[in-house]
Amino acid sequence: MRKPLPWKTAWVTGASTGIGREIVLQLKAAGVRVAASARSPEKLAALGPGVLAIPLDVTDAKACHFAAEQVEAELGPIDLVVFGAGTYAPVAADNIDPDLFAHTMNTNYMGVVNCLAAVAPRMTARGSGHISWIASVAGFMGLPKAAAYGPTKAALINLAECLEPEMKLKGVLISVINPGFVATPLTAQNDFEMPFLMQPEEAGRRTIEGLAAGRFEIAYPRRFVAILRTLRALPYPLFFRLITRFVLKAK
């Protein structure tokens, strides 16, 4: 990891477990002042001293504004944000629950939008800053069991593409983080083999390195990303045939 990192103050949401937690710990170890948000105060406390813990439900837009104000009041201007709060539940095609879809969209997509609305005006007014959020390779294409989750991640990728040119002109970087399978409490729900499964520590390291390099897209692991991009480029009949055979294990 490049040292020193190019930020003084960072705010990370979804910081209680998984990639978000590792990003907090690794930024703190590198000397960055870090604020961490999640719904669980107990899990935030487990991050240890040196982290500003701000319990937050990202679906509450007003609370996101208050959290951003608190970070800057206690730590100074925010240089970097990593919006990582998210939820996931597998969906069977014959069991479509509108409440689950709404909850997933409100958390994964609108949670980012709520936090974005809280920090973007601050950064554009200063003419500097780096805004990032965790999407997923599941946003590259539609995949079985991801009917509630995948569209939220596709929306986040599209959101980043929409904002990057204008924000860059205003001096603010935008990055979208697209991990593959990472061993977290969310992926532990999966009842299928997860190819190229990564540990959160490695995912956190790759994320920070990509952000420090100023990359727009940070996607990993590379081999899995390449496979998925190749699948996405195929004509739909062949794409669906391969998904049916290798993902659903059906002829």
Give DSSP secondary structure letters for 129-184: -EEEEE--GGGSS--TT-TTTHHHHHHHHHHHHHHHHHHHHTT-EEEEEEE--B-S
Strands 173-179 and 217-220: parallel
Task: Examine the pLDDT at 227 and tell me if it is beyond 70.
Answer: yes
Alpha helices in 30-129 (DSSP H): 41-45, 61-75, 98-108, 110-126
User: For residue 33, what are the β-bridge partners?
Assistant: 9
Mean pLDDT of all residues in 113-136: 98
The percent of residues in the chain predicted with pLDDT above 90, rounded, is: 88
Return the DSSP state at 187. Answer: G
The β-bridge partners of 176 are: 133, 217
Domain that holds residue 240: 9-246
On whether residue 1 sits in a domain, the answer given is no
Question: For residue 203, is it within any domain?
Answer: yes
Q: Which residue type occupies 90?
A: P
Which tokens go with 42? 């107990």
- Residue 110, in any domain of the structure: yes
Is residue 213's pLDDT more than 60? yes
Q: Per-residue pLDDT for 1 more than 70?
A: no
- Count structural domains, the chain: 1
Per-residue b or e along 71-95, where b marks 16 or more CB atoms closer than 10 Å to that residue's CB:
bbeebeebbbbbbbbbbbeebeeee
pLDDT band at 247 (very low <50, low <70, confident <90, very high): confident
Residue 2 placed within a domain: no
Q: So what's the pLDDT on residue 4? A: 85
Residue 89 pLDDT greater than 60, yes or no = yes
171 in a domain, yes or no? yes
* Domain-located, residue 26: yes
What is the pLDDT at residue 236? 97
Average pLDDT over residues 165-185: 94
pLDDT at residue 190 is higher than 60:
yes
Q: Which of 88, 109, 149, 220 is catalytic?
A: 149
Residue 156, pLDDT score: 98
Q: Identify whether the C-beta of residue 15 lies closer than 8 Å to the C-beta of residue 36.
A: yes
Of the listed ranges 29-38, 48-57, 185-194, 213-222, the one predicted with least confidence: 185-194
- Mean pLDDT of the 15-37 span: 97
Q: Kindly state whether residue 59 falls inside one of the protein's structural domains.
A: yes
User: Would residue 236 show up in a list of annotated catalytic residues for this protein?
Assistant: no
Using CA atoms, how far apart are residues 238 and 233, in angstroms rounded to an integer? 10
d(CA 10, CA 144): 35
User: pLDDT band at 2, cuts 50/70/90?
Assistant: low
H/E element holding 217?
Answer: strand 217-220
- Say what the pLDDT of residue 52 is: 98
Reply yes or no on whether the pLDDT at 251 is more than 80: no
Place 187 in a pLDDT band, splitting at 50, 70 and 90.
confident
17 within a domain of the structure (yes/no): yes
The predicted model gives 172-183 an average pLDDT of 94
| Percentage of residues in the chain having pLDDT higher than 70 | 98
With both helix axes pointing from N to C terminus, report the angle between 110-126 and 150-169 in degrees, rounded to the nearest 10: 10
pLDDT of residue 212: 97
99: domain CATH number?
A: 3.40.50.720
pLDDT band at 169 (very low <50, low <70, confident <90, very high): very high
Report pTM.
0.95
| pLDDT confidence of residue 115 | 98
The arithmetic mean of pLDDT across residues 60-64, rounded, is: 98
